[in-house]
Amino acid sequence: MIREARSIVVLTGAGVSAESGISTFRDAEMGLWAKYDPMELAHIDAFHRDPELVTRWYHWRFTRCKDCTPNPGHHALAELQRQTEARGGSFSLLTQNVDGLHQRAGSTNVSEIHGTILTWRCTKTGKHHELEDIDFSSFPPTSEAGGILRPNVIWFGEMLPEKELERAFSDSSTCDVFMSVGTSSVVQPAASLIDLAKSHGARTIEVNLEPTPISESVDVSLFGKAGEELPKVLDQLNGEA
Ligand code: APR
């Protein structure tokens, strides 16, 4: 399926970063933040209600991301992109993750449909700030213009960026193979991209530890860890399996 595909779309979720040590949303958060529900904190209303708590949580999350490294699943997807593009195919990686690990593994032209925690912006001026330029000695952090700084993530209650959304829909409606990796497939609009792909005749693959709402309807289900299943797919493509 993959070998013959002219265009491949891969949608990833938190499960592809789990083996890098970044806990997924629907697993219980360990330690200090265990008492908070990520769904509660990843919401624009939570930020307006308690900007100190929400910015502390994102500061904690990105300090963990910085200590993590891409796992074999990230690297396999970067290699799959290289091989697909080398044979003249197109490859589009859409990720719901905000940790930047796909890019660090070598994936290019990654669409971060839920944004990123690696840059923040001033809520007063809209100016973007790199992490290293932000003073996190107090929370919420503020900019030189006196505005509160927030991470460039898309929170529940916010719209996805138009450009990313258009690309996700157009890539999903023109691909031959749509692969869903490490996502619970419950958050819209990401969860409906696979249906769009199927409605245009794409073949579908899911890689997940356990069944999800889409497992019944995909062509191929690879149940297991992304960091193990994706390298296996590559080995088969390279005739090494
Ligand atoms: N390999 C493959 N899949 C895994 C692994 C792994 N090692 N570990 C966990 N999973 C699967 C889980 O079975 C689950 O289906 O990854 C999925 C993680 O689901 P979520 O925690 O819901 O993360 P995600 O699907 O990315 O959430 C989507 O919801 O919380 C919001 O905006 C946030 O982007 C996030 C969106």
**What pLDDT does 39 receive?**
80
Q: Which two tokens stand for residue 162?
A: 């138009």
- CA-97 nearest atom, ligand 1: 34
- Residue 162 CB contacts under 8 Å (≥ 6 apart), including other chains: none
Q: Is residue 124 part of a domain?
A: yes
Same domain, 17 and 94: yes
d(CA 53, CA 58) in angstroms, rounded, equals: 9
Domain that holds residue 145: 31-67+120-153
Q: Is residue 145 part of a domain?
A: yes
- CA-184 nearest atom, ligand 1: 15
pLDDT in tens, the chain (241 residues): 999 999 999 999 999 999 999 887 766 555 567 777 878 889 999 999 999 999 999 998 888 888 899 999 999 999 999 999 999 999 999 999 999 999 999 999 999 999 999 999 999 999 999 999 999 999 999 999 999 999 999 999 999 999 999 999 999 999 999 999 999 998 889 999 999 999 999 999 999 999 999 999 999 999 999 999 999 999 999 987 6
Q: Is the CB of 184 under 6 A from ligand 1?
A: yes
Task: Specify the length of the chain in residues.
Answer: 241
- CATH number of the domain where residue 55 is located: 3.30.1600.10
**What pLDDT does 65 receive?**
82
Write out 38-104 in H/E/C secondary structure. HHHHCEHHHHHHCHHHHHHHHHHHHHHHHHCCCCHHHHHHHHHHHHHHHCCCEEEEEECCCCCHHHH
Q: Is residue 1 part of a domain?
A: no
Q: Is the CB of 132 under 6 A from ligand 1?
A: no
Same domain, 172 and 213: yes
- CATH number of the domain where residue 203 is located: 3.40.50.1220
Distance 129 CA to ligand 1 centre (A): 28
Q: Which two tokens stand for residue 83?
A: 């091989």
Catalytic residue among 74, 114, 128, 200: 114
Same domain, 212 and 166: yes
Backbone angles phi, psi at 170, to 5 degrees: -70, -40
Q: Which two tokens stand for residue 44?
A: 């624009």
Distance 96 CA to ligand 1 centre (A): 9
